[in-house]
Structure 1
Amino acid sequence: MFRPLELFIGLRYTRAKRRNQFISFISAVSVVCIAISVTALITVMSVMNGFDDELRSRILGAISHATVSGLPGESVQDWRSAVKVAEANPHVKGAAPYVETEAFLQARRPSGALVRGVEPGEEPKVSDIGRHMVEGKLSDLTPDSWNIVLGKELALQLGVGVGDRVTMAVPEFRATPMGSVPRLRAFHVSGIFEMGMQEFDSGLALVNMGDAEKLNGLDGPTGIRLKLDDLFNARPVARELAGALGQVYRVETWMDSHANFFSAISMEKKVMFIILSLIILVAVINLISMLMMLVTDKQADIAILRTLGSTPRSIMGMFMVQGVLVGLVGTAFGVGLGSLLSWRLPGIVRWIEHVTGVTFLSPDVYYISELPSKLQAGDVGWVALVTFLFSLLATVYPAWRASRTQPAQALRYE
């Protein structure tokens, strides 16, 4: 079978001989180092993807993908028509009205909280809080029941449980003979939820929307929460809804309210990719050392090939073949091991915790108690490409040195 001369000789140089077994050993070490580096990079990227996805799902389980609101502190005009317009958009999977206000809660101990008035029958369309109830259920938030559902941490701060009473004060003042005083109302704790996020578990309380409207002196909801078919398509959908609803309404997305948080996660992922890429660069240095030793060892062979008519470019190709082959083999092993490790990492961590009795992410300290991992083909592709480019660049200088060999000088002492 016909093969180019450069490929034929380059592949022969990869086979171990008695006189160059050490070079073959260095070549094997280079393969192992590249494989370990690629494995580490893919695994770390997968873990960061897992944390990003877990945080995103937990945050978006309590907030909406997009919201439609009116003027600050006022109810939405003709909100039922706005809901119909929103639901008519093919990208909107659910819409639910809400009333949101800051309030002061008093029980055994005081605490501030964000109080959200919801319709229990409509809330599952836009949030996952109903699936995270520790005690009670959202359906207990009936009109005029004056029931309240608290986050788990908020209930601990207040020192209350299901069946206790909480006094709520809202920044809506009413005139009395004693002057202006805030509106006060006693609520009955009917449920407790746990989202696994400090922001919501310690600072969010849910009541019936009608009760929230009465307490705040409103004649309707302060906004409409929307759930979309694709959360990353939130901004284009928001622009469509803003045009359909008119200037009376304001449309915001989760990207606007949590942009800094997710931008920080994205930046950390990019920085980690760059830092761990340097590990691959260090591993590739072994490849340079191996090729330089091979060039020195093959001086006589290079000289003979030059006298037989091989060009400097052909000599470069022969040594680049071996370097690229080492890089490809190391990358292939690294991609395989990294993908397998990322896929099975949560189970491996649970097994290690079971055997050693050590909990890596304690639920008492961390809100994500399991090590998540999400393997993405794009990350694997980028890692493989960067590793291949590093391996290719590592072969250039040794191959160039080989091509500069002078036949007469190399054969003088042979």
Structure 2
Amino acid sequence: MASPPKSPGPFAGFEFLIAWRYLRARRTDGGVSAMTWISFIGIALAVMALIATLSVRAGFRHEFVGTILGANPHVAVYDIAQVNDAGQVERTLENFDEVAEALRGVDGVTHAAAVVRGQVLSSYRGRNSAVEVIGIAPEDLSLIPLVAEPEWRQGMLSAFGEETSITPDVEGALPVPGGPGIAIGSGVARELGASVGDRIRLISPDGARTPFGTSPRVSTYEVVYIFQVGRWDIDRTRVYLPFTEAQTYFNRDGVADEVQVSVSEPEQISQYVLPLLQAGGDVQIWTWEDSSGAFLRALQMEDNIMFIILSILVLIATMNIVSGLIMLVKNKSRDIGILRTIGLSEGSILRVFVICGSAIGVAGTLAGVILGCAFAIWIDPIFSFVNYVAGGGVWDPSVRMISALPARLEAGDVVTAMALSLGLSFVVTIFPARRAARMNPVEALRYE
């Protein structure tokens, strides 16, 4: 006795064939090609927007944290606050060499350097600018990544701290010593109109102590190096002075304001807090997360909100699939009745329309991924075009803190966008597909 023929399994070839014919059918033949294209384009644009936003978000955080870690210490070590005879709070370190040596012995610490800090007024040819002066040894300055290797520079870092000379405006006069060379940020140079080789004045109100009181200290230094790290608040205010010269300039003879520490894993800075406190003795520490944690938390909150908003945008785009399938089911009711009459099960009908909706979602998602990745890769020329069309000034570094719009394409973000879009596409197709599967073939063919 011959065995009965096997029934085809789920997602058989004929189900894909029927779905493909429905998707490419013209509207005059009962298809919904226009609605299919609208669904496809909507999903593609939504996925593109999601990937573009996620890449800019990742790039912004990477650039923001990178400039913090590349141009600032990971940890600043201070002395315990004390009140001097004048009623002023002091945190200076007298044994800064011993503290720095002890901190270098902590596992994971890559560098420790003593510095002197202060705020002064800079002046050049009648132009003034408030700046932050950091006194640091030349060998320590060369180990600051974004200062040694900035995104733009002028002059030579090797000339920092070297003695310069002044040639008097007198014929035959010999050059005289002009003090050590200094390094300044590009924003400071732009504000003052200074360049490499120019001599700027630094004016401190808490200057030289004389029998008649404290008088402002005015010193002139030659600019030997200009750097741009890409973060506006650093480029606009930062000036580096040799350590010994800064001690004299700020009346810090024999002391330092702090010891700046760099570690091998700055993203895991919390694990270094206790070892550094134990090694430094009676000191206080201030990590980069303490100083910039509010910015990072604000970024994280904004990231979460934007992801939710764009996820809703993807959901709205996938809802076009529902509209298209409902129209398709209505137009193909006669075909559904015939297919059911010749033996197709409810499951086969359901899978046919699930394939129709899922195909639109898959195609739109892939197109959106390609467009989103292309946007992230070529964001610079795209943004330059937008800036040109808008007449310039679209990006204000003084507000954004970095000099350009960044984008960082990460595999996790692309996978997240794909998973969200595909998941929603698969889910929303179930409802119109079930409606088609449950259609009564007698009712569908009643008036045919």
TM norm structure 2: 0.77
> In the superposition, relative to structure 1, how do residues 223 and 170 fare at CA in structure 2: closer, same or farther (>3 Å)?
farther
Counterpart pick for 1:27 among 16, 29, 36: 36
Segment of structure 1 superposing worse, 132-141 or 330-339: 132-141
Q: How does 1:5-84 map to 2 (within 5 A)?
A: 5-6=10-11, 8=13, 10-11=15-16, 12-15=18-21, 16-17=24-25, 20=29, 22-72=31-81, 73-76=90-93, 78-84=95-101
Counterpart pick for 1:181 among 208, 214, 218: 214
> In the superposition, relative to structure 1, how do residues 148 and 343 fare at CA in structure 2: closer, same or farther (>3 Å)?
closer
Q: Give the letter for the 1:166 counterpart.
A: R
The residue number in structure 1 matching 2:166 is: none
> Partner of 2:308: helix, strand, or coil?
helix
Could you tell me whether the CA contact under 8 Å between 1:130 and 1:138 is conserved in 2? no
> Partner of 2:142: helix, strand, or coil?
helix
The residue number in structure 1 matching 2:154 is: 134
Counterpart pick for 2:356 among 322, 328, 336: 322
The residue number in structure 2 matching 1:124 is: 142
Q: Give the letter for the 1:168 counterpart.
A: I
Q: How does 1:56-205 map to 2 (within 5 A)?
A: 56-72=65-81, 73-76=90-93, 78-105=95-122, 108-132=126-150, 133-135=153-155, 137=157, 139-142=159-162, 145=179, 147-158=181-192, 162-169=197-204, 171=206, 174=209, 176-178=210-212, 180-182=213-215, 184-195=217-228, 196-205=230-239
The residue number in structure 1 matching 2:320 is: 286
> In the superposition, relative to structure 1, how do residues 402 and 2 fare at CA in structure 2: closer, same or farther (>3 Å)?
closer
Deviation at 1:381, TM superposition (A): 1.0
Supply the distance in 2 between the matched residues of 1:156 and 1:341 (Cα, whole angstroms).
32
Deviation at 1:76, TM superposition (A): 2.8
Q: Give the letter for the 2:54 counterpart.
A: M
> Partner of 2:262: helix, strand, or coil?
strand
Supply the distance in 1 between the matched residues of 2:192 and 2:33 (Cα, whole angstroms).
69
The residue number in structure 2 matching 1:245 is: 280
The residue number in structure 2 matching 1:4 is: 9
1:225 pairs with 2:230: no
> In the superposition, relative to structure 1, how do residues 340 and 61 fare at CA in structure 2: closer, same or farther (>3 Å)?
same
Deviation at 1:45, TM superposition (A): 2.7
Q: Give the letter for the 2:69 counterpart.
A: L
Deviation at 1:267, TM superposition (A): 3.3
Could you tell me whether the CA contact under 8 Å between 1:74 and 1:218 is conserved in 2? no
Supply the distance in 1 between the matched residues of 2:128 and 2:379 (Cα, whole angstroms).
43
> Partner of 2:370: helix, strand, or coil?
helix
The residue number in structure 1 matching 2:173 is: none
CA-to-aligned-CA distance 1:108-143 (integer Å, 9 cap, x gap): 344432211101111222342244442453643259
Could you tell me whether the CA contact under 8 Å between 2:31 and 2:331 is conserved in 1? no
Q: How many residues align?
A: 408
RMSD over aligned CA atoms reads 3.6
Supply the distance in 1 between the matched residues of 2:192 and 2:364 (Cα, whole angstroms).
57
1:334 pairs with 2:368: yes
Supply the distance in 1 between the matched residues of 2:162 and 2:92 (Cα, whole angstroms).
21
Could you tell me whether the CA contact under 8 Å between 2:334 and 2:444 is conserved in 1? yes
> In the superposition, relative to structure 1, how do residues 25 and 7 fare at CA in structure 2: closer, same or farther (>3 Å)?
farther
Deviation at 1:283, TM superposition (A): 2.2
Deviation at 1:311, TM superposition (A): 6.5
> Partner of 1:122: helix, strand, or coil?
helix
> In the superposition, relative to structure 1, how do residues 243 and 404 fare at CA in structure 2: closer, same or farther (>3 Å)?
farther
Query: Percent identity between the aligned chains?
Result: 27
Supply the distance in 1 between the matched residues of 2:337 and 2:142 (Cα, whole angstroms).
78
Segment of structure 1 superposing worse, 4-13 or 96-105: 4-13
Structure 2 stretches lacking a partner, 5+ long: 1-5, 82-89, 164-177
Q: Give the letter for the 2:355 counterpart.
A: V
> Partner of 1:413: helix, strand, or coil?
coil
Deviation at 1:6, TM superposition (A): 4.9
1:399 pairs with 2:433: yes
Supply the distance in 2 between the matched residues of 1:238 and 1:205 (Cα, whole angstroms).
28
Deviation at 1:378, TM superposition (A): 1.1
> Partner of 1:95: helix, strand, or coil?
strand
Q: Give the letter for the 1:117 counterpart.
A: G
Q: Give the letter for the 2:105 counterpart.
A: A
Segment of structure 1 superposing worse, 48-57 or 282-291: 48-57
Deviation at 1:321, TM superposition (A): 2.8
Between Structure 1 and Structure 2, the one with more helix by share is 1
Could you tell me whether the CA contact under 8 Å between 1:37 and 1:280 is conserved in 2? yes
Supply the distance in 2 between the matched residues of 1:202 and 1:343 (Cα, whole angstroms).
29
Supply the distance in 2 between the matched residues of 1:157 and 1:28 (Cα, whole angstroms).
54
